[in-house]
A and B are shown apart, each in its own frame.
Chain A
Amino acid sequence: MDIKSAERFMEKLVKAGKEYGFEECEASYASESSMSIDILDGEVSSYESSATSTLSFRGLKNGQMGYCSTNILEDSSIDYLLKSTMENCEVLNDEDPQFIYCDEKNKDLYFSQVTDAYSKNTYKSFSELGLKIEKAILDADPRIDAVDYLSVACSTGPYLIINSKGLHSYRDSDGISIVVSARATDEDGSVKSGDHFWIGKDIDEFDLDKFMDVFSEKLLGKMGARSCRSSNCSVVFKAEAFQQFFMAFFGNFTATPMQRGLSLLADREGETIASSVFTLKEEPMYEKALTKIPFDDEGVLTSAKAIIDKGVFATALYDLKSAYKAGRESTGNGFRGGSSVSEMPTNLIVEAGDKSFDELLEEAGEGIILTDLSGLHAGVNSISGDFSLLCEGYLIENGKKGRPVEQITVAGNFYDVIKSIKSVGNDIINLPSGEGEFFTPSVLVSSLAISGDEE
């Protein structure tokens, strides 16, 4: 369905919603077109293409917000949406007020960021590039046996919200991702695997040489890896590992879990919670970000802010509901996920320090570099901050990168880790995260428990 037809349906639905008895109501429409190719053994093994859309309706009745969604945008769906949503309102008894919102000064919100480069994303361009990448990987080293997964994908789509208070909000985005995973055989016959990815908006900006430099090191650097002795030692989180680690606990910085007693950061805005060398900002319109987000899914304008400012917890992220409960303004972080709105970050940036990665190792002297953490969906207690995770990396010996290590765990507590950050590097990378990206360098942490099975 084209966006104009969807818009007409939504206007009709919202009007019908008011007549049906909702105090306020809102319709949102998300549509996505995607295309991807997979490469295996010198061929395009798979091609995918899709066009999907979902319409979600929510309505307020007696202060309760019910939700219902469908992908059938026909008049016959209107009754279903209104009736189901009303039934849901009747069963709810949330004590906290909820809002359907429109700022009189910002009734019409529009932000389009799909570029002409998107038209370069074709079966031909993707398959040629995919095959070139596969060849480059297999040619990089005789120990590399196979590229098990290589996907080049793109997607784009509009997101439209219309509500009974007069909000008309449109934004769209697009992106390309390249993901690879390959395996190699070590001298002792054991198998090592490595993966890498690239995200961007213009396929011509993909730099194969740069990609291969990092990927080769990620995979071949593991050759000869074995466990190590258990100890408490300095740890350098490589940027990618730090992003994974930090995001496993990010929910604690959002207001709803705090208000529900599920975050230890509740009522601690203004307190020092991290090392003074650590600053984390949220910049929805960050210049280097692929996706910019000028307004959230509740129609609130977003703004740049520090979340942690030189170690001080500056602000949590709020949506309209949690902000009202806290007696303050929304921070513009209300984003729709399925049948609810919750606080999500846009673009997060860890402020770079002045040390290179090698200088972080020098400062550590002895310890471990963590390059990859596994099991973050399970091996963390996101509330208490405790974690115990399978990881890989390298030893740090005499201030330099030493031999690779595997089959070790790193354990500790998130809140202790952010307090014990000694230095922040300047080797910033970006990874997809939340509604946008996470930009972070590597960081040096003074002490964590490493478990290995060597004597």
Chain B
Amino acid sequence: MFNDSDCLRILEQAMSTTADFAEVFQEVTESKSVSLLNGQVIRAATGFDSGTGIRLLAGTNSVYVYSSDNDIEVLLKLAKEAASAIKGVSKGSIEALKELCSTTKATVEIDPMSVAKTDMVDFLRKSSDYALSYDPIITQAASSIASSVRTVRIINTRGVNAEDTTKRTRLSIEIIATKENEKQSGRVAPGTMKGYEFINDYPVIDKTRECCDTAIRMVNAGYAPSAKMPVILGNAFGGVIFHEACGHALEATAVGIRNSYFTDMLGRQIASSIVSARDNATIEGEWGSYATDDEGNTSSDLLLIENGILKNYLVDELGSRRMNCAPTGCSRRQNYSYAPTSRMSNTYICNGETDPKDIIANTEYGLYATQMGGGSVDTSTGDFNFAVNEAFLIRDGKIAEPVRGATLIGKGQEILKNIDMVGNDLELSAGVCGSISGGVPVTVGQPTIRVSSILVGGRE
């Protein structure tokens, strides 16, 4: 990391023309990973990456330059290039740097970077040994552990002087069952900002068994039907629909340029009155948490929707200029090769009051999606699509046969209004969200919920 005087030289160079704001973002990331397939360690890798990004703003005009070369002369040259490209009207000022504020979000007992890869392999082997002897129908067991430690330093012309360190670990287990030409998988991929103690405490055998059971059920299942019907979305990763169909449309990236169906909707009813939702980056040890965002702001616990009323957008610095409101501490980027923008952290629908069992019992016919795959949404039109990894039909209030190959489609703005039951079993689930500032760790979450009608695209 640079010293303060080097950082100030870069800022001065960046502000030499017509920028009204400049920021230097330095990053150092170390990573390690091991992967097993059917008991063989097929990959082991280590990496070290560092670089610097320099951002200039003049109103809503932005310039971003970055380099993996941390030589001060190289960066001064880049800052000069940036200064010549910014289109402002007058020269801005530089405030004195505040005292360095260092943050880290989680209490880590065992540093994952200090754990020997052989220990990681021993842990993963428990999963593959168990899966491969579980049932002859299980043909592949893949698993991996990846850990990283990322330290960033952010200084800007408003005197912000922040440093933040995050250590993250993600475990992935995928089990495949084969029946003739059909292969189906069951998977879990928890992530954490706790230390390696999270892995040591993880119920790996129970979770591997659940993956095996899902894979076996799905490989034996028939195709899902095609029709509009009530859909019960299971808790935890079921929240991916809210993340995609609502969360992205609340980001300043979309709202700030009016490319969202939630533009100008603050204070208005956008969801059923039993729906409240938050984006909370402050949860201790959670995969999507952080203490300081990538613009140097303190992270926040933001109420997005309260009883169906839209309360807040996710706003970064550039978005705040477009939307004329304050940033909410949600500016993130994958690494220095991306300019930061408004992103989600741990985003979830809050607990309701209904027992999930009652949601099922009160559904005469419908689809119960217990494990969601990925999906995507167009924030301008609201069109979304989600793959369902594990689903059952509900008949007469009871869980009936498993079905595979279902895709849920619809309009984001409609689905929120059609949530007619919210359970009390909120859980979060880790993922990686991709957007214009790259892939960032997030969690999605919700209790079990029911949507009165979604088009299920199946094959029967």
Smallest beta-carbon distance B436→chain A, Å = 9
Which residues of the other chain, A, contact B337 by a CB distance below 8 angstroms? 50, 52
Q: Does A244 contact B (CB under 8 A)?
A: no
Q: Which of A53, A84, A88 contacts B68 (CB 8 A)?
A: A53
B311 part of interface (Cβ distance < 8 Å): no
Contact at A375–B407, with CB atoms within 8 Å?
yes
Give residues 63-105 of B contacting A (CB, 8 Å): 63-69, 74, 78, 81-82, 85-87
B-facing residues in A183-236 (Cβ within 8 Å): 183, 190-193, 227, 230
**Nearest residue in A to B43 (C-beta to C-beta)?**
A340
**Cα distance A406–B409 in the bound complex, in angstroms:** 11
Report the interface size for chain B: residues with CB under 8 A from the other chain: 79
* Cβ-defined partner of B62 (8 Å) among A45, A191, A230: A45
Judging by beta carbons under 8 Å apart, are A378 and B409 in contact?
Answer: no
When distances are taken between beta carbons in the complex, the residues of chain A under 8 Å from B404 are 386
Interchain CB contact under 8 A, A48 and B48 = no
B451 to chain A, nearest CB (A): 14
- The smallest beta-carbon distance between B23 and chain A, in angstroms, is 14
Bound CA–CA A85/B384 (angstroms): 43
Instruction: Tell me which of B82, B226, B258 has the highest count of chain A C-beta atoms within 10 A of its own C-beta.
Output: B226
Contact B375 A375 (CB under 8 A): yes
Please tell me if the beta carbons of A44 and B407 are within 8 angstroms of each other in the complex. Answer: no
Cβ contact within 8 Å between A388 and B376: no
* Residues on the A chain within 8 Å of B227, using CB: 230, 451
The yes or no answer to B257 lying at the interface (CB within 8 A) is yes
Contact with B along A429-448 (1 / 0, CB 8 A): 00000000000000000000
Give the chain B neighbours of A80 by CB distance below 8 A.
48
Per the 8 Å Cβ criterion, residues 32-65 of B in contact with A are 33-34, 37-38, 40-51, 60-65
Given the known A-B contacts A48-B65, A264-B181, A383-B176, are A389 and B385 also in contact in the complex, defined by CB atoms under 8 Å? yes
Q: Pick the contact of B41 from A50, A92, A383 — CB < 8 Å?
A: A92
The binding surface of chain B is classed by DSSP as strand
**Measured between C-beta atoms, what is the minimum distance from A231 to chain B in Å?**
10
- B407–A388 touching, CB < 8 Å: yes
A 73-89 to B, binary, CB cutoff 8 A, 1 in contact else 0: 00001001000110111
Residue in A71, A77, A91 whose CB lies within 8 Å of B34? A91
Whether a CB of chain A sits under 8 angstroms from the CB of B182 is yes
Q: Chain B: which residue is nearest A183 at the CB level? A: B380
B178 on the A face (CB < 8 A):
yes
A416 vs B95: C-alpha distance in the bound complex, in angstroms? 65
List, in ascending order, chain B residues with CB within 8 A of A49's CB. Answer: 64-65, 78, 81-82, 85
B68 lies within 8 A of A383 (CB)? no
Residue of B at shortest CB range from A386? B405
Given A378-B374, A388-B457, are A52 and B383 neighbors across the interface (CB < 8 Å)?
A: no
Q: What residues on A are CB-neighbors of B87 within 8 Å?
A: 43-44
CA distance A3 to B1 in the complex (A): 25
Q: A389, B407: Cβ atoms under 8 Å?
A: yes
Alpha-carbon gap, A48 to B339, bound state (A)? 9
Indicate whether A123 reaches chain B with its CB closer than 8 angstroms. yes
A377 interface residue, CB < 8 Å from B? Answer: yes
Q: How many Å lie between the Cα of A426 and that of B48 in the bound state?
A: 48
Write out the residue numbers on chain B whose beta carbons fall within 8 Å of the beta carbon of A87: 44, 46, 117
B455 close to chain A: CB less than 8 A? yes
Separation in Å of the A273 CB from the closest CB of chain B? 12
Contact in complex: B387, A46 (CB < 8 Å): no
Q: Are A374 and B69 in contact (CB under 8 A)?
A: no
B210 interface residue, CB < 8 Å from A? no
Chain B residues within 8 Å of A116, by CB: none
A374/B385 in contact, CB under 8 A: yes
- Does the CB pair A384–B47 fall under 8 Å? no
Docked pose: A90 CA to B41 CA in angstroms: 10
Cα–Cα distance between A3 and B139 once the two chains are bound (Å): 46
Stretch at the interface among A62-70, A285-293, A343-351, A361-369: A62-70
Q: Which residues of chain A have C-beta atoms less than 8 A from B381's C-beta?
A: 183, 190-193
Q: In the complex, which residues of chain A have a beta carbon less than 8 angstroms from the beta carbon of B258?
A: 146
A337 to chain B, nearest CB (A): 12
Q: Verify if B118 is at the interface (C-beta below 8 Å from A).
A: yes
- B18 shortest CB reach to chain A, Å: 13
Question: Residue B121 at the A interface, CB < 8 A?
Answer: yes
Contacting pair B459 A379 (CB below 8 A) = no
Report the minimum CB–CB distance from B452 to chain A (whole Å): 14
Q: Which residues of A contact B459 (CB under 8 A)?
A: 386, 388, 411-412, 449
* Measured CA separation A67–B35 after assembly (Å): 13
* Interface: B269 (CB within 8 A): no
Partner of A260, one of B37, B61, B86, B226: B37
Chain A residues with Cβ below 8 Å from B257 are 40, 146, 148
B69 contacts A51, C-beta separation under 8 Å: yes
- CA–CA, A260 and B176, complex, Å: 12
Asked whether, in the complex, the Cβ of A407 is within 8 Å of the Cβ of B383, the reply is yes
Least distance between B278 CB and chain A CB atoms (Å):
25
A104 at the interface (CB under 8 A from B): no
CB distance from A124 to the nearest CB of B (A): 11
Q: Whole-angstrom distance from the CB of A82 to the nearest CB of chain B?
A: 11
Q: Name the residue of chain B whose CB is nearest to the CB of A53.
A: B68
Q: How far is the CB of A228 from chain B (nearest CB, A)?
A: 12
Establish whether residues B69 and A381, one from each chain, have CB atoms under 8 Å apart when the complex forms.
no
Q: Provide the bound-state CA to CA distance between A48 and B40, in Å.
A: 43
Contact pick for B457, options A45, A53, A411, CB 8 Å: A411
Say yes or no: A93-B40 contact (C-beta < 8 A), given A191-B380, A192-B381, A407-B383.
Answer: yes
Tell me the minimal C-beta distance from B319 to chain A in angstroms: 13
Do A146 and B43 have beta carbons less than 8 Å apart? no
Asked if B183 lies at the interface with its beta carbon under 8 angstroms from chain A, I say yes
| Beta-carbon contact of B48 and A183 below 8 Å | no
| Contact yes or no, A88 B140, CB < 8 A | no
Point out the residues of chain A lying under 8 angstroms from B267, CB to CB. none
Q: Is B61 touching A46 in the complex (CB atoms < 8 A)?
A: yes
| Residue-wise interface mask of B (174-214) relative to A, using a CB-CB cutoff of 8 A (1 in contact, 0 not) | 00101001111000000000000000000000000000000
Which residues of A sit under 8 angstroms from B81, Cβ to Cβ? Answer: 49
Residue from the list B44, B383, B458 in contact with A406, Cβ < 8 A: B383
The 7 closest A-B CB pairs, nearest first, are: A409-B457, A339-B45, A378-B374, A390-B385, A451-B226, A88-B44, A375-B385
Binding site for A on B (CB under 8 A): 33-34, 37-38, 40-51, 60-69, 74, 78, 81-82, 85-87, 117-118, 121, 139-140, 176, 178, 181-184, 224, 226-228, 257-259, 261, 337, 339, 373-376, 378, 380-387, 404-407, 409-411, 455-459
Residues of A within 8 A of B (CB): 1, 40, 43-54, 66-72, 77, 80, 84-85, 87-95, 123, 146, 148, 183, 190-193, 227, 230, 260-262, 264, 338-340, 374-375, 377-381, 383-384, 386-390, 406-412, 449, 451-453
A-B contact pairs, 21 of them (CB 8 A): A49-B78, A49-B81, A49-B85, A51-B74, A52-B66, A52-B337, A70-B48, A230-B227, A339-B43, A374-B383, A377-B374, A378-B387, A381-B184, A388-B458, A390-B407, A390-B457, A407-B383, A407-B410, A408-B457, A409-B409, A411-B407
Supply 8 further A-B pairs (C-beta < 8 A) apart from A49-B64, A148-B380, A451-B227: A375-B376, A378-B375, A379-B373, A384-B181, A386-B404, A388-B406, A408-B409, A411-B226
